[in-house]
Chain A
Amino acid sequence: MNKNKKYALIIIMVTNAILISFLESFIPIPIPVPGIKLGLANIITMIAIVFLSWQDVLLIVIIRSFVVAILTRGVMMIAFSLSGGILSAIVMWLLYQKLSRFVSIKGVSIAGAIIHNSAQLLVASVMLGQAVVLYYLPVLLISAVVTGLITGSIGEIAIKEVSKKGVFLEETIQEETAQEER
């Protein structure tokens, strides 16, 4: 895949992630838990994990966090988005690439949601200098399992459909060849 096509794919995936986040405002959550989001943008990270290299996955996460922070929430948001986004992407990538025999896409998504929530809470506690924030962790972890499962279910369908479309075909073949060589 040439450089420009790769960048075009990254641009499309970043804009998709931001638009999907916008969709969340329409979704009624049966039991609203304060501070909880479905995290549907994670679907894009999962697609990237399946079809692209880890460098590209990180690039997508970093650019998405940067664009969202600048356009809407302010620069301090970057600390939260990046810590949660990068850590969860690394864990999800490792789980998918190394343990895909044992962990399904839904499992990968749940792990990603757990890491994302934990990292954000840790950053909040460091910023506030208050460990008391961590008391909220059990609530966040339980909800991460539920939201991760929902996101994972949708992600699984999306990955199948994208795979059928063959957008990443060249890249996937390259990846498979590299894995075989390994």
Chain B
Amino acid sequence: MANNSLLIHPKIDSAANVNNESKISDSKRVLNAAGFMDMDGLIKLVLFITLALMPFYFVKALSFALLTGYLLIITLLSGIKMRTLFISASSYFIIVLIPYLLGLMINIFISFLSNGYAYTQESAQILLRLLRLFIMWFLSILYFQTTPMKTVLGLLDRFLFPLKLAGLPVQDYLKVVMCAVLELKNTGAELKESLAKSMRSVLGGEKAKFMFKLNIKALSQVIVSLIVNSFGKLDRVEKLVENVNPADLYGYFFRLTKREIIALSGFTMFTILVIMVEKGYW
């Protein structure tokens, strides 16, 4: 689809370059992922949402074990980098688990000091809730890391159709999202490297922990120069926004191939197995 769009709009040089680059990276990802990544976005979304909701209806521990095994298989098939998964999953621990555990600790400490009421809870239930949330989190990471951005935005474009009818410029907003992603992909890596360099040179030599006041001054210099310099590319980005067609940036078309049929069959088998376990047949 992107190919056709590029033929229709050959004048959009920058956008075409960007598209070619993303096409190359997309094809690389497809090769790496042994085809899983190229699966239809909508079917994958429906499967993942169902998988994320399943644990809320599980009663038996064996169902969780089966789900874990199934998730492990699809994670391996997806070819996703373990480092990416680890980094993404760590945000779950930082944002959800740490405040919870620290809140619990503070609560116990207060009740210990005041010899008063300590917050009681059923730890098994909490653990179960944390596990269910983690599965949801994990599946969302897996989906977004294995689905091309073009497809995600293409699907969003379809889902947000009612907002379009209400007069909201959904296409413009999605174009802005995709342009921001492309901008990050194109200049982000280079900028990241130079920023890291300047940050190390500014902060690295100092005894950072004890010279925090100095660090803030140096830090503000780096940040302010990044912001001020970034507006230098305003004309280029404006031209990109002006010339690029939403159809070049994102789109979704339903497809049902052998790959989707295999995935659906595997999922159906897993669901039947889990239902058997839950009903007590196995």
- Where the two chains meet, the residues of A that have a C-beta atom closer than 8 Å to any C-beta of B are 3-5, 7-12, 14-16, 18-20, 22-23, 26-28, 30, 34-35, 40, 43-44, 47, 59, 63, 66-67, 69-77, 80, 120-121, 124, 127-136, 139-140, 150, 153-154, 157-158, 161-162, 165, 167
Cα separation A9 to B176 with both chains bound (whole Å): 10
Distance of A132 Cα from B173 Cα, bound (Å): 38
Which of B88, B180, B212, B228 is in CB contact (< 8 Å) with A165? Answer: B228
Q: List 15 A-B contacts (CB under 8 A).
A: A5-B234, A11-B237, A12-B234, A20-B226, A23-B219, A30-B210, A35-B94, A63-B180, A74-B91, A75-B140, A128-B126, A130-B103, A132-B103, A158-B228, A165-B228
A-B contact number at CB 8 A: 200
A131 cross-chain contacts in B, Cβ below 8 A: 119
Q: Is the C-beta of B195 less than 8 angstroms from some C-beta in chain A? A: yes
Query: Quick check: is B208 within 8 A (CB to CB) of the other chain?
Result: yes
Q: How far is the CA of A63 from the CA of B175 in the complex (A)?
A: 11
Q: Is the CB of A73 within 8 A of B100?
A: no
Please indicate the chain B residues that have their CB under 8 angstroms from the CB of A34 in the complex.
94, 98, 102
Interface of B is mostly: helix
Q: With a CB–CB cut-off of 8 A, which chain A residues contact B87?
A: 72
**What residues of B have a CB within 8 angstroms of the CB of A162 in the complex?**
227-228, 231
Of residues 192 to 223 in B, which have CB atoms within 8 Å of A's CB atoms?
A: 192, 195-196, 199-200, 203, 208-210, 212, 215-216, 219-220, 222-223
CB contacts (< 8 Å) of A127 on chain B: these are 96, 133
